[in-house]
Amino acid sequence: MAESKESAKGLHIGFIMDGNGRWAQRRGLPRTAGHTKGAQVFQDMVKYCKQLGVEAVTFYAFSTENWKRPKSEVDAIMRLLKEYLRRAFDYKKEDNRIIILGDKTPLSDEIKKLMAEIEEGTKDNKGMTINVAINYGGREEITHAARALARRVAEGTLDPDQIDEEMLAGELYTAGQKDPDFILRPSGEKRLSNFMLWQSAYAEFIYMDVLWPDFTRKHLDAAIEEYCHRSRRFGGI
Ligand code: FPP
């Protein structure tokens, strides 16, 4: 922890919380049990990252593709999200800023209301930023941003030649935030799965052979150490 503490300061870490279903199945439990344990790990990682002085964390909780899962599993994930969003009110005391990334339109009114309250209630906080990606897809996010700029062009308030990368980034759900320094994917899969496509242009990827429900603070320490040994050149030499 002492070493991680120095090296984690100011980082933005992306977490693809993968392997919940396999974790449960290996134990003869319903897949939803894996999500329940995964949500506990999410909460512990938020606490630990805060202790380490991390600047921002982004958790991939529900993708635009996850609606294809059985309704009972989708409902269970939504129930967990509601439960943890309610708990997020405690984060307010810790000065954390909570931002929901994704298209909220198809979510229930109850979740939308909770999200609005939490985002509004924490928007001026200066501590760690906690992004939770819900009904999130990197392609949807870029499409949404392009649509916003196109609307301004159609209204006659924006000249297409003025559009640059910074302007497009300003329309993403992560507007104003630094890009992730590294993206961590446990469970052995080596894919980005539509996560932070724009923002990950120069992110380091760290894949780990542990299922998310088994992910511990020690795994995060190891990931931070691996990240510190990577040489980031951002296209330079
Ligand atoms: C991926 O594992 C995980 C998800 C699609 C859901 C993640 C949701 C949670 C951890 C709970 C709610 C989140 C918060 C922030 C409170 P998988 O089911 O695809 O695993 P598998 O690849 O082993 O099937």
**Which of the four pLDDT bands, split at 50, 70 and 90, describes residue 1?**
low
pTM of the model: 0.95
Q: Does ligand 1 lie within 6 Å of residue 77's CB atom?
A: yes
Percent helix / strand / coil, the chain, rounded to 5: 50, 15, 35
Q: For the chain, where are the alpha helices, taking DSSP H only?
A: 2-8, 20-26, 31-52, 71-87, 89-93, 109-122, 138-155, 165-169, 217-229
pLDDT at residue number 237: 74
| Cα–Cα distance for residue pair 70/81, rounded to 1 Å | 17
pLDDT at residue number 134: 98
Residue range 130-150: average pLDDT?
98
pLDDT at residue number 89: 62
Look at residue 2 and tell me whether its pLDDT is greater than 70: no
66 is catalytic: yes
Catalytic: which of 18, 96, 135, 181? 18
Residue to probe by mutation, ligand 1, list 15, 16, 20, 22, most atoms within 8 Å of CB: 20
Residue range 160-186: average pLDDT?
98
**Which of the four pLDDT bands, split at 50, 70 and 90, describes residue 93?**
confident
**Which of the four pLDDT bands, split at 50, 70 and 90, describes residue 92?**
low
Rounded to the nearest whole angstrom, what is the distance from the C-alpha of residue 160 to the centroid of ligand 1?
Answer: 39
Rounded to the nearest whole angstrom, what is the distance from the C-alpha of residue 211 to the centroid of ligand 1?
Answer: 10
96 is catalytic: no
**Which of the four pLDDT bands, split at 50, 70 and 90, describes residue 82?**
very high
Rounded to the nearest whole angstrom, what is the distance from the C-alpha of residue 216 to the centroid of ligand 1?
Answer: 16
For 211, residues 6+ apart whose C-beta sits below 8 A from its C-beta are 18, 19, 20, 22, 23, 34, 186, 187
Residue range 124-142: average pLDDT?
97
Q: Does ligand 1 lie within 6 Å of residue 141's CB atom?
A: no
Q: What is the DSSP letter of 161?
A: G
Q: Does ligand 1 lie within 6 Å of residue 61's CB atom?
A: yes
Determine contact, residues 150/158, Cβ cutoff 8 Å. no
